[in-house]
């Protein structure tokens, strides 16, 4: 199992210089991937702009959206963003897409929320189908130039993943929750007759050391889920032991890549995480 790290692009108040420095240090660290989150109606950096900036200061590390809300963009716009970042980064993009969970992101973007599933399917069909033959270049040089993951927990989401993606982006939780979702992903993959196995990506939040604010950030970021925000905050990994346990648990359940997402935008967080996973 590979370990990736999140870029704090959705933590309010994180400075641009911090994000760039974070990307540089992640590149030099033991991480396979640098991942971003996507929210519109929240004080946060755009995920694609963030990855473009990261692409400019890195050469090796993969760049991933974990996930980006596809239907908020036009299909052509999404293809341009993905193709541009793939080209700028030398084909290092992993494009995780889902319908997202927040109505207000759709309202702020003036996009109809009701057709989100069908729209995402259309986008995926285009990215995987007509895109290379369209005039919406640049197009990734290789298939892995834009690796596609799909997230979501519903039956239609798993079917969409198996139909169009390279793998599944899980939304977080203890290893047993990941295991259930992984079984669903594998079942869907087999049901649609895909050869091999879906790549399985997981994610978890962490905050290491004395610096405060991780829990507050998660309660605020997930306030739209109501009381569920507290449960997400309770899952924040705050000790090296908790992180190691989670890594072991995910590895046992067949996770291919685990992204550890920061909840405190301080460079010290990255240093401490490097010590734990190195």
Partner 1 sequence: MRVSIVGAGPAGLYFSILMKRLDPSHEITIYERNPPDATFGWGVVFSEGTLGELRDADYESYIAITDSFARWDAIDIHHRGRLIRARGQAFSAISRKGLLALLQRRARELEVELRFEFELSDLDGYLDADLVVGADGVNSLVRSLRAGVFKPHLDTYPSKYAWFGTDLVFDAFTFIFKETEHGVIQAHAYPFDAELSTFIVECNDDVWERAGLGSLSETESIAFCEQLFADELDGHRLLSNRSIWMSFVQVANQTWHDGNVVLLGDAAHTAHFSIGSGTKLAMESAVALTNAFVRHPDDLDQALIDYELERAPVIERFQQAARDSATYFENAKHYVDFDPVQFSFNLLTRSGRIGYANLSLRDPSFVRALDSWFTSGRRDADTLRGIAPPPMFAPLAVGERMLPNRAVLSPPVNDGADHGIPSAGRTEELFEASSSGVGLVLTEPVAVTAEGRITPECPTLESERHAQAWRRIIDHLHSQSDALIAVQLSHAGRRASTHPHRLGVDLPLGDDGWPLVAASPLPYSPGAPIPKQMDRSDMDRVRAQFATATGHAAAAGFDLLELNLAQGYLLASFLSPLTNRRDDGFGGSLEERLEYPLEVFDAVRAAWPADRPLAVRISASDWKRNGSRVDEAVALASELAERGSALFHVVAGQTVVDGTQVEYRRSFLTALADRVRSQAGVPTMVGGYITTIDEVNTAVGAGRADLCILESQAVEGGPAIR
Which stretches of the chain bind partner 1, using CB under 8 A? 117-118, 121-122, 124-126, 128-130, 133, 143, 155-156, 158-160, 162-165, 176-177, 180, 183-188, 190-197, 226-228, 230-231, 233-235
Of 143 and 244, the one with the shorter C-beta distance to partner 1 is: 143
Of 112 and 271, the one with the shorter C-beta distance to partner 1 is: 112
| Phi, psi at 149, each rounded to 5° | -115, 150
CB 149, min distance to partner 1, A: 12
Q: Which two tokens stand for residue 196?
A: 């091999």
Q: Which two tokens stand for residue 113?
A: 């929320």
Of 52 and 242, the one with the shorter C-beta distance to partner 1 is: 242
CB 169, min distance to partner 1, A: 16
Helix residue ranges, H only, 90-235: 103-108, 116-128, 155-164, 175-191, 214-221, 228-234
Q: Which has the closest alpha carbon to 81: 107, 112, 133, 46?
A: 46
* 8 Å CB contact between 30 and 278: yes
Of 181 and 258, the one with the shorter C-beta distance to partner 1 is: 181
CB 225, min distance to partner 1, A: 10
Of 168 and 206, the one with the shorter C-beta distance to partner 1 is: 168
DSSP E strands: which ranges in 16-61? 33-36
Q: 175-191 and 155-164 are packed helices; what angle lies between their axes, rounded to 10 degrees?
A: 60
Which residues make beta-bridge pairs with 36? 65
d(CA 210, CA 2) in angstroms, rounded, equals 27
Q: Which two tokens stand for residue 272?
A: 């401490």
Of 4 and 151, the one with the shorter C-beta distance to partner 1 is: 151
Chain centroid to CA 103: 19
d(CA 134, CA 13) in angstroms, rounded, equals 39
CB 138, min distance to partner 1, A: 18
CB 117, min distance to partner 1, A: 6
CB 7, min distance to partner 1, A: 28
């Amino acid at each position: 199992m590979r370990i990736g790290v999140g870029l704090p692009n959705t933590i309010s108040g994180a400075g641009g210089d911090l994000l760039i420095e974070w990307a540089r240090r992640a590149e030099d660290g033991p991480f396979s991937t640098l991942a971003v989150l996507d929210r519109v109606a929240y004080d946060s950096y755009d995920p694609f702009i963030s990855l473009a900036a990261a692409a400019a200061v890195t050469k090796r590390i993969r760049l991933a959206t974990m996930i980006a809300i596809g239907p908020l963009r036009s299909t052509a716009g999404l293809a341009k963003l993905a193709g541009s970042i793939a080209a700028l980064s030398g084909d290092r993009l992993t494009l995780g897409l889902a319908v997202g969970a927040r109505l207000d992101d759709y309202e702020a973007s003036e996009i109809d929320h009701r057709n989100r599933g069908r729209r995402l399917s259309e986008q995926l069909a285009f990215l995987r189908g007509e895109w290379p033959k369209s005039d919406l270049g640049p197009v990734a040089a290789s298939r892995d130039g834009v690796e596609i993951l799909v997230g979501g927990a519903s039956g239609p989401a798993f079917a969409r993943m198996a139909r169009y993606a390279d793998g599944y982006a899980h939304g977080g939780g203890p290893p047993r929750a990941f295991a259930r979702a992984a079984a669903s992903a594998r079942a869907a993959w087999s049901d649609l007759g895909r050869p091999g196995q879906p790549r399985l990506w997981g994610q978890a939040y962490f905050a290491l050391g004395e610096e405060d604010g991780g829990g507050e950030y998660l309660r605020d970021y997930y306030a739209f889920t109501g009381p569920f925000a507290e449960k997400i905050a309770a899952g924040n990994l705050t000790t090296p032991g908790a992180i190691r346990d989670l890594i072991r648990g995910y590895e046992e359940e067949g996770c291919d890549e685990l992204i550890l997402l920061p909840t405190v935008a301080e460079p010290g967080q990255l240093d401490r995480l490097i010590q734990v996973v190195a």
